Amino acid sequence: MTSVSLHGAEGRPAEDGRSPDDASRLTALLRVTPVVPVVVIEDASRAVPVARALVAGGLPIVEITLRTSTAIEAIAAVAADVPEAHVGAGTVLSQEQARTAVSAGARFIVSPGLDEGVVSVAGVLSVPVMPGVTTPSEVQRAWNLGLRVLKYFPASLAGGIPMLKALGSVFRDVKFVPTGGISAGNLRDYLEVPSVTACGGSWLTPSGAIAGGDYAGITRLAAEAVAIAGRAEGQPASSANRTGG
């Protein structure tokens, strides 16, 4: 992935505080797995077993959304008890939420939209950030903020695969993580788009499975996603290929 340096001619950091390594750090996280589970936790005690179930299925990355009052507690629990999982915060809407999530242990930030305040705070805290975009104007704005990995949301409603191909043809050094309407049924189609580096989705952790403690079921869904991703890349599916490194 090509990245524009955020340092000036004399090597000074950019004014917004973002490190030139932020984009590469996020890309490295996404190389570990091309599928990002988007998890809604209503009961914080479920967070650790859910994260362990995903790791067992070959998905060592977990985006816990800030849609519930227990989300920050859940992030802290996973960060403390499941170190092999890269836990991040999703649905981050404000600078304060970003600070709180990072303090709890979030290793990356995801937003549904592009907010320069959230991007700036993530940079100051040296945490990779992936804001959501839909239009060419938003992608261009993010590009000029030095971002090269962007969430494409809501994917299925915003043009889906044809739109991603169109955006990718123009913004050739940008990688997208489509989220919203992704499932096991269309995961391979999305991953085969050249500009797509990973997909996000909540189908991996159904609310019923979380509430009912069906962690084995979550592991099966994760393993299925890993297998699909392996076929999309034309490689033998193997959780070892996904979790190594």
Rounded to two decimals, the pTM is 0.87
CA 203 to chain CA centroid, Å, is: 15
Residue 83 CB neighbour total at 10 angstroms? 10
Residue 235 is predicted with a pLDDT of 52
Q: pLDDT (tens digit, 9 = 90+) per residue, 124-138?
A: 999 999 999 999 999
Distance CA 133, CA 89 (A): 17
146 is written with which tokens?
């030095």
Q: Are 141 and 150 in contact (CB under 8 A)?
A: no
Share of the chain above pLDDT 70, in %: 86
The predicted-structure confidence for 153-197, as pLDDT tens digits, reads as follows 999 999 999 999 999 999 999 999 999 999 999 999 999 999 999
Residue of 151, 165, 192, 224 with catalytic role: 151
Clarify whether 151 is annotated catalytic: yes
Pick the CATH number of 22-229 from 3.40.430.10, 3.20.20.70, 3.30.450.20, 1.10.760.10: 3.20.20.70
- Left (φ > 0), alpha (ψ -120 to 50) or beta: where does 49 sit? alpha
Using DSSP, state whether 237 is helix, strand or coil.
Answer: coil
Is 63 among the residues known to form the active site?
Answer: yes
Contact status, residue 106 vs residue 81, Cβ threshold 8 Å: no
Task: Provide the 10 A C-beta neighbour count for residue 142.
Answer: 24
* Count of other CB atoms within 10 angstroms of residue 76: 19
Q: Choosing from 10, 15, 42, 63, which is the catalytic residue?
A: 63
For 102, half-sphere exposure in the C-beta direction (CA atoms, 13 angstrom radius) is 20
- List Cβ neighbours of 220 (8 Å cut-off, separation of 6 or more): 57
Give bridge partners of residue 150 from the DSSP assignment.
176
For the chain, what are the domain ranges?
Answer: 22-229
